[in-house]
Amino acid sequence: MLEQLQLDKQLCFRLYSASRLITQQYHPLLAEHGLTYPQYLVLMVLWEKDGQPVNDIAKRLYLETNTVTPLLKRMEAEGILRRQKAKADGGAKREDRAGRQDGRQVIVNLTEKGKAMEKAVADIPFRVGSAVSCRSITPESVPGLFETLDELICTLAK
């Protein structure tokens, strides 16, 4: 077998495994609140800034809008958020690349239930952080790890 094809030589496998295992740590904590991990990510984006277009949410999560839309529909059915077309009065409308008003844009707003969930899940990052702490990942090393991963994400997103 070619050495470069050995599983333990693959950075992608380590990143995939770490991501999957960390997500598993979130699962029971989020399930207590009726949330999935992707729903939690959407909520974090909206807690930072409510009233965002679907395209902006998808871009922030490095996902396609056709992946995010069904997720948003489920969250709307659960009363967590509300989706609405951009208003004709220009209140929520944006311009497209040619400078025209884009009336097809869907804006996503949190409901009171969605806003209240922020406090309800506030301890989850700390609980997961405790679960992933190890010899080489400490609270002091996390900013450096973030910097390395952000650089990798930026490179791959180009």
Mean pLDDT of 109-133: 94
Q: In terms of domains, do 111 and 54 share one?
A: yes
For residue 101, give every residue at least 6 positions away whose Cβ sits within 8 Å of its Cβ, in sequence order, or none.
Answer: 90, 93, 94, 95
Q: What pLDDT, in 10s, does the model give residues 9-33? A: 999 999 999 999 999 999 999 999 9
For residue 91, give every residue at least 6 positions away whose Cβ sits within 8 Å of its Cβ, in sequence order, or none.
Answer: none
Between CA 107 and CA 51 the distance in angstroms is: 6
Comparison of pLDDT for 91 and 52, the residue scoring more: 52
For residue 109, give every residue at least 6 positions away whose Cβ sits within 8 Å of its Cβ, in sequence order, or none.
Answer: 46, 50, 51, 81, 82, 84
* pTM of the model as a whole: 0.86
Domain harbouring 61, CATH code: 1.10.10.10
Report whether pLDDT(90) > 80: no
* pLDDT score of 19: 95
- Give 98's pLDDT tier (boundaries 50, 70, 90): very low
Per the structure, the complete domain to which residue 147 belongs is given by 123-158
* pLDDT score of 100: 41
Q: In terms of domains, do 77 and 135 share one?
A: no
Q: In terms of domains, do 117 and 50 share one?
A: yes
Q: In terms of domains, do 46 and 112 share one?
A: yes
The answer to whether position 131 is within a domain reads yes
Between CA 39 and CA 80 the distance in angstroms is: 10
**Helix count and strand count (H, E) for the chain:** 7, 5
Number of domains into which the chain is organized:
2
The answer to whether position 31 is within a domain reads no
Q: In terms of domains, do 142 and 95 share one?
A: no
Q: In terms of domains, do 59 and 129 share one?
A: no
Between CA 136 and CA 128 the distance in angstroms is: 16
Q: What is the DSSP string of 76-108?
A: HHTTSEEEEEPPTTSSS-EE-TTS-EETT-EEE
The answer to whether position 95 is within a domain reads yes
Report whether pLDDT(120) > 70: yes
To which H or E segment does residue 5 belong? Answer: none
List the one residue out of 66, 74, 80, 84 whose CA is nearest residue 121.
Answer: 80
Q: In terms of domains, do 105 and 95 share one?
A: yes
